[in-house]
Amino acid sequence: MSTARPSRPLDRSLEWGRHYLAVSPDHFRIDYAINPFMRLDDQPDPVRTRAQWDAMVGAIEAAGARVEVLPQLAETPDMVYAMNLGLAMQRPDGSPHVVLSHMRYAERRGETPAAQAWFAAYGATTQRVGAEGVGAHLEAGDAFAWRGELVVGFGPRTEELALKHLATELQVAVRGLRIVHPGMYHLDLAFCPLTETAAMVCPDALDDASAEALLALVPDPLVLSEAETMTFCANSVVVGRTVVMPACPDRVRHWLERRGLEVVVVDVTELQKGGGAVRCLTNPLDVRLGRDLVEVPGGRVLLP
């Protein structure tokens, strides 16, 4: 007689996550250190990097998503982390629009013109936070569309003032969370929506009020320990019922599979040397205003 516990009923899959932009790792290297993972004496191997990136793209496509590829500029070694090029979305009529990132560190700001040119060729309108990028810093790796709101981390990279700009310029509710952990400097290292009600959450990334607010926001949280999160397991992408992950601790795998999610682990350890994994390397293009982000006239910022 089996004693296995039954799986939970399937939750609704995320509406977005089936169309991505990625940057080919043509010139990925470590030229400087702007996060705790970057070391100039630990350079990525170009052959292994390319093989790992190709395998990641293949896994995402095999799960049913489409991946667009932007070549990397030689002078921008971090450009491979496509998530931080801009916050992409579709207007209610389906036309694409992008809020370009205003990077905290000058070393990464050379990526923005190339990103803007690609998005324009893709047919997107673009804008910057503040006046032509001289205002508050915004890095798109801190932002997620989830449950009708834009959930945005701020502190190490994105400035709190950027939340007001996003809310008013996009006419949406922006829920701000203060990041305090140096190794989780973007929210996408500590938070990963999985379904319409489930998400991976690492409370240790946030101050106490923000951690409490995020846990209250998620009906079915997979609460990660600091040690689990530092495997980059939350820096994953979800395509329907498939979670493409750089690592998956046993407890995390058990939790995901009990909820009917398929785990696909891809090795991107060479690319992790720059401080990012699967989510950082991909940028979803199919988030839709009016569907994934509910219109809020005048916008609204929600802080814990």
Q: Tell me the pLDDT tens digit for each residue of 37-56.
A: 999 999 999 999 999 999 99
Does residue 125 register a pLDDT over 60?
yes
- The continuous run of DSSP H or E covering 113 comes out as helix 111-121
Does residue 95 register a pLDDT over 90?
yes
CA 221 from centre of chain: 17
Query: What per-residue confidence (pLDDT) applies to 135?
Result: 83
pTM here is 0.95
Q: What is the CATH number of domain 19-293?
A: 3.75.10.10
Residues 232, 13 contacting (CB under 8 angstroms): no
3-state secondary structure 211-222: HHHHHHHCCEEE
Hey, which residues does 191 pair with through a beta bridge? 201
Hunting for tokens 């209610």 — which residue is that?
92
SS3 83: helix
**How sure is the predictor about 73, in pLDDT bands with cuts at 50, 70 and 90?**
very high
**How sure is the predictor about 33, in pLDDT bands with cuts at 50, 70 and 90?**
very high
Per the document, the length of the chain is 304
Residues 122, 283 contacting (CB under 8 angstroms): no
Query: What per-residue confidence (pLDDT) applies to 3?
Result: 41
Residues 246, 228 contacting (CB under 8 angstroms): no
Query: For the sheet containing 282-284, what is the strand order?
Result: 66-70, 19-23, 282-284
Residue 234: how many other CB atoms lie within 10 Å: 29
Query: What per-residue confidence (pLDDT) applies to 11?
Result: 84
Reported in sequence order, the residue ranges of 147-241 that DSSP labels E, i.e. its strands, are 149-154, 173-178, 191-193, 198-201, 220-223, 237-239
Residues 151, 191 contacting (CB under 8 angstroms): yes
* Domains in the chain: boundaries: 19-293
d(CA 54, CA 89): 25
Query: What per-residue confidence (pLDDT) applies to 10?
Result: 66
Structure tokens at 153: 């981390």
d(CA 11, CA 16): 15
Does residue 75 register a pLDDT over 70?
yes
CA 159 from centre of chain: 17
